[in-house]
Amino acid sequence: AQSVAQPEDQVNVAEGNPLTVKCTYSVSGNPYLFWYVQYPNRGLQFLLKYITGDNLVKGSYGFEAEFNKSQTSFHLKKPSALVSDSALYFCAVSARDDKIIFGKGTRLHILP
């Protein structure tokens, strides 16, 4: 069975500093990996995905993520955090013909 873990419930980062939101996964076969962001009282917004190809994936709003097959990780990163990046971030994983499942989410606080 597939699973995804976000080990941190909350991450605090000072504005202007680099940020990392961690995600590890377990899936049979090659994974499809996604990051989504949720702002208060809104649905989820797609940030980026890894399907195949380059391990470093660039997405919306300056975010990027690195697929690491040996560590089964797909951490979300941004070189310089903005206060407006404060939100709830979800990592998601799927096998080819299976459902997409989501982690429990990590709340990111960017401190001015």
Partner 1 sequence: KAGVTQTPRYLIKTRGQQVTLSCSPISGHRSVSWYQQTPGQGLQFLFEYFSETQRNKGNFPGRFSGRQFSNSRSEMNVSTLELGDSALYLCASSPLKTYGYTFGSGTRLTVV
Contact mark string toward partner 1, 36..55, x via CB under 8 A: x----xxxxxx--x-x----
Which residues in 19-38 contact partner 1 (CB under 8 A)? 32, 34, 36
Q: Considering the complex, what minimum distance in angstroms separates the CB of residue 55 from partner 1?
A: 17
Place of tokens 């009282």: 41
Q: Considering the complex, what minimum distance in angstroms separates the CB of residue 92 from partner 1?
A: 8
Q: Which of 11, 32, 29, 31 is nearest to 77 (CA)?
A: 11
- Rounded to whole angstroms, the Cα distance separating 27 from 47 reads 21
Contact (Cβ atoms closer than 8 angstroms) between residue 17 and residue 81? yes
Q: Considering the complex, what minimum distance in angstroms separates the CB of residue 43 from partner 1?
A: 4
Place of tokens 């962001």: 37
Q: Which residues bind partner 1 (CB under 8 A)?
A: 32, 34, 36, 41-46, 49, 51, 90, 94, 98-105
